[in-house]
Amino acid sequence: MFLLRLVVFLILVSLVVILAYPLLIIFNLSNGGDGFGLCNDLIACEIPFIEGPRILIILIITFFFLVAVLRIIMKYLNNINKEETIL
């Protein structure tokens, strides 16, 4: 039971990180970083046209996969809790 709740917590943290990742890339670029490997030299940076949509699709697929896993775990936890009641 505790392990499942720990997994739920980790999934929720992962969902928040997935939602914040584009902001972290922009913040990194604005502070002179490389955008986590997206652009090595900001002055001569040429990001391919497809790179933005590719990252977006990967983030969306990962987000919905984690939401589905979270939903399955929560249904399982609800079933466990119903069986443990005395009524």
User: pLDDT for 2-57, tens place per residue?
Assistant: 888 899 999 999 999 999 988 888 888 888 777 777 777 767 777 778 877 888 89
State whether the Cα torsion 27-33-36-42 is positive or negative.
positive
Q: What are the boundaries of each domain within the chain?
A: 2-84
* CA–CA separation, 41 and 45 (whole Å): 5
Predicted model pTM = 0.73
SS (H, E, C) the chain: CHHHHHHHHHHHHHHHHHHHHHHHHHHHHHCCCCCCCCCCCCCCCCCCCCHHHHHHHHHHHHHHHHHHHHHHHHHHHHHHHHHHCCC
